[in-house]
Structure 1
Amino acid sequence: MNIDFPFHFDDRGRTATTGDDDHIADMIEQLIFTMPGERVNRPDFGSGVMQLVHAPNSPELAAALQFTLQAALDRWLGDLIEVQALKVESQEATLRIDLDYLVRRTGKTLKETFPRGAAL
């Protein structure tokens, strides 16, 4: 079992745990929403999405972010997942990240959506 993210306690008062698929989704979320420079000894870990939440939204921003995310996912989680499809959309004050990926260990294909915006 893996420690669940975000850290919390279960109904028994113990550290909450989660299964492998949810743990991988948690790691993806951490990678996406960690700013480069935020992690000790890994200054280039992260994607920089949070720096762009308040930036003027545009298709160009979404395309640049999609490229950056693809590179970060391949670099940091490429041994665990294979990105099948990655789509970043900008809609008014919200960035929406849709990710389809293959879990290499099990061969299972999963989908995750990560919306972030000024109001979220």
Structure 2
Amino acid sequence: MEFIGRGLAFPVRTDATGSVALVGGDREVVESIRLILGTSPGERPMRPEFGCAIHDLVFAPADAATAGQIAYEVRIALERWEPRITLDDVVVGFDAVDEGMLLIDIRYTLRDRNDPRNLVFPFYVIPTHDIPAHDAVPQPGDRLAEVDQRAIAAPAREVS
């Protein structure tokens, strides 16, 4: 357990005694992975190369090519910045409900013991939306727009 060590909790917070919270063991590694993936390169002035370049893909389409690029960027970042793990696999899948969310499944083994783990990190892209054609959107002065305006302005009549 000496190899993993202890460190500041992220986000920085206090514990029940009012001291700065520390984490150790497996939790330290999980928080470190989340910190690496949540930091964009260039975000830290004193360590500009630290982080993962997945943030450059926020506006990329949610497709297989983007998923492959995300897996590559995660692998490169974790192999460089987290020496306490052996990265076994990075699998990127698509969420069935939210078309803008990709799930990054990171499978790793703690180096000081043969203990396989995984961490699922959600990554959000901006989903593409179909923009309606100009003709389909009523414009002021269009006959369809005028009819809609008259229907809104007309009082409702009761049917006897």
TM-score (norm 1): 0.86
Q: Does 1:8 align with 2:4?
A: no
Alignment partners' CA distance in 2, 1:97 and 1:74: 16
C-alpha displacement of 1:118? 5.9
Unaligned runs of 5+ in 1: none
Say which one has the larger Rg: 2
Partner secondary structure for residue 2 of structure 1:
strand
The percentage of aligned residue pairs carrying the same residue is 31
Instruction: Tell whether 2:59 aligns with 1:43.
Output: no
Determine which structure has greater relative contact order: mean sequence separation of CA pairs < 8 Å that are 6+ residues apart, divided by chain length.
Answer: 1
Match in the other structure for 2:108: 101
Q: Aligned partners of 2:68 and 2:25: how far apart in 1?
A: 30
Count residues in correspondence.
118
Q: Which among 104, 114, 117 is matched to residue 110 of structure 1?
A: 117
Q: Does 1:28 align with 2:33?
A: yes
What is the SS of the residue equivalent to 2:112? coil
Structure with the higher strand share, 1 or 2: 1
User: Contact conserved, 2:60 with 2:125, CA < 8 A, in 1?
Assistant: no
CA contact (8 A) 1:33 1:48 kept: no
The Cα RMSD (Å) is: 1.9
| Residue identity matched to 2:110 | V
